[in-house]
Amino acid sequence: MVNSKVDRDVFEKMVDIISYRGPDDRDTFYEGNLALGHRRLSIIDLSEAGHQPFHYKDRYVVVFNGEIYNYRELREELESRGCSFVSECDTEVLIASYDQYGPACVDRFNGMWAFAVYDRKEKTVFLSRDRFGVKPLYYYHKDGTFIFASEEKQIIMMAGHRFSVNRPRLMEYMIRGVHDHTEETMFKDIMQLRGGCSMLYRMEKDSISVKRYYDLSETTCSNESFEEAAADFRKCFENAIRLRLRADVPVGYCLSGGLDSSSIVCMADSIIKKDGLNAEQESISSCFEDRRYDEQEYIDEVLKHTEVRGHKIFPQGSSVLDDLDDVLWHMDEPFGSTSMYAQWNVFRAAKEHGLTVMLDGQGADEQLAGYTGFYSVIFAEYLRKFRLRRFRHELECYKKLRASTEKYVNSKKIIIEALIGAFLPKKLQKFGKIHMFYLKQGLPFEPEDIKKTIYGIDLYPAGDSRRYILDQLKCNLSMLLHYEDRNSMAHSIESRVPFMDPLLAECAFKMPVEYKLKDGITKYVVREGLKDVLPDKIRNRYSKLGFVTPEDQWINNSPEVFRKEIEEAADVLSPLLKKERVMAWYDRIEGNVQRMDFMPWRIICAGHWVKLFDLEV
């Protein structure tokens, strides 16, 4: 932080309030009106040489959260330019790169990061966040005070005053279930540096300037054949996994049984065998007694196919509310569904089994056509371009494939969304959506709040698959990465997401969408590119469960408990919500909450959050 007067006692507490993010080492640095603090989770070079804040050439002081996976290659390049090193850690490579290349150094990094470099000569602080926002970076700039941190609770503590709810962002969360899609947070005046952006703070002027250094949309389309694209994907994916296996601590896997996590586990196992590494492999899986939500059949298939030792956990609905405030404290903001609670339990189990690094599959669905919404997108694209023969073929494949894997196939809904996305102006799309669903359903929100929220967010694909992918990365993935970071770090676990490797992301983005969704099959290029790595039962599985919990059962099985929770949340959230309207709505949908897209949970979660952080509504 930078302030005319730094309260050192409070700053030391600010550093220690997130001790779980770095239990292995800590330190602070003060100079004039500047203070830097760091908590270390030792992953690479476990010696004291990796101590932070890290000093370099008596000019720079750096604090760094994350990993630069290609640090070995960068180190060799820097050594060829005359640089010498005193440690084996990636932190020293990072600051040496900054010394050599300035802010452009981030273009050379393959990793996840949030870091700040204090230049003692120029009196500036340079901050950067990785391309896709895997690691968090928040800031507060007001009345001559500049505070930046890994978590919002640190800023609240350091600022020393009561914060208010950011009404538009909170309403978007409760009504539409979205957050983390803008620079704003749900706390008024606390901002986040977006993924792919850097910031320069000039201390003498008390000024900040933000610059975007990375934009995936600038990746041009490829004309390569499907076979070439599949081979390219395979090569990039293998390299992404190999880089993320670099660690001086045990590495494990989050294994759900789906295509994404199974691909990571099987490829990692293949690499370890191929490279002759002596590594004991372990995975953690979330399972349920109810087979409708359970994927043990596929988890066991992956474990049988590899030399990975699997551990299974069984999250219980009876403990969700008991643990809610603890999870919220680490999340800092309300979260979308109880799936995040299952993830919380996965990382807690990883810690119990002695794992420090976990590989997870976030980002595959958004980039490689894993969501059902991609059907509407590609159908709209075919219709808009009048590729009617292709449209009919893919529609028939979709109906046939989904009929064999799902009890109910809503092909009419897909066709309607495709027609709307292809031909109807956006304003009419949103107008229709507001009146057909949000207002007619009698939801417990003011009509004006509903309209403002809906008009601010796209609802239907517009027949442009590349734009849809970018929207998914901006909105959905940003939320999931927020959960991923907080759930893992709460248990002192570093989570790595290979599908967000920049070379892999660019490989996926440049290929035509029909390589990803073909003959009604999602992630087609993944299945073909990894056909010699994945077991057939996984590769040829077309049903998609997602990372889910029996949330509707948990709520429906304890109606009195959850009704009381809704009632208390409505009290806390007044005047944003009117209690009478909320309770009338909830009593009407009680027993059928699955139709409400997790909305009851979001209201409960928002109420707990406001109370937990003592926010002004």
Note the pLDDT of residue 595: 46
Q: Give dist(CA 126, CA 202) in Å, integer.
A: 9
Tokens 């970018």 sit on residue? 470
Does residue 155 contact residue 190 with C-beta atoms inside 8 Å? yes
Mean pLDDT of successive 10-residue segments in the chain (617 residues)?
86 98 97 96 95 97 98 98 96 98 98 98 97 98 96 96 96 92 97 98 96 96 95 98 96 96 97 88 92 89 96 88 95 91 95 97 95 89 92 90 60 78 73 60 77 66 82 93 98 98 98 94 96 96 68 72 92 93 85 64 95 96
The answer for 206, left when phi > 0, alpha when psi is -120 to 50, beta otherwise, is: left
Does residue 616 sit in helix, strand or coil?
A: strand
Query: What HEC string does 187-231 produce?
Result: ECCCEECCCCEEEEEECCCCEEEEEECCCHHHCCCCCCCHHHHHH
- How is residue 219 written in tokens? 């990746």
Look at residues 378, 365, 364 and name the one whose alpha carbon lies nearest to residue 512.
378
Does residue 27 sit in helix, strand or coil?
A: strand
| Cis peptide bond N-terminal to 53, omega within 30 | yes
Q: 8-214 in CATH: which number?
A: 3.60.20.10
- How is residue 396 written in tokens? 């028939």
Residue type, 391: F
pTM of the entire predicted model = 0.94
Note the pLDDT of residue 504: 98
What is the CATH architecture of 217-368+477-539?
3-Layer(aba) Sandwich (3.40)
Query: What HEC string does 449-516 produce?
Result: HHHHHHHCCCCCCCCCHHHHHHHHHHHHHHHHHHHHHHHHHCCCCEEECHHHCHHHHHHHHHCCHHHC
Note the pLDDT of residue 429: 67
Note the pLDDT of residue 408: 46
DSSP string, 349-390: HHHHTT--EEE--TTHHHHTT-STHHHHHHHHHHHHTT-HHH
Going from N- to C-terminal start, the domains of the chain cover 8-214, 217-368+477-539, 373-466, 551-612
Report in angstroms the alpha-carbon separations of 597 from 204, 316, 592. 49, 20, 11
What are the beta bridge partners of residue 284? Answer: 254, 311
Note the pLDDT of residue 440: 60
Helices (H), 87-166: 90-101, 152-159
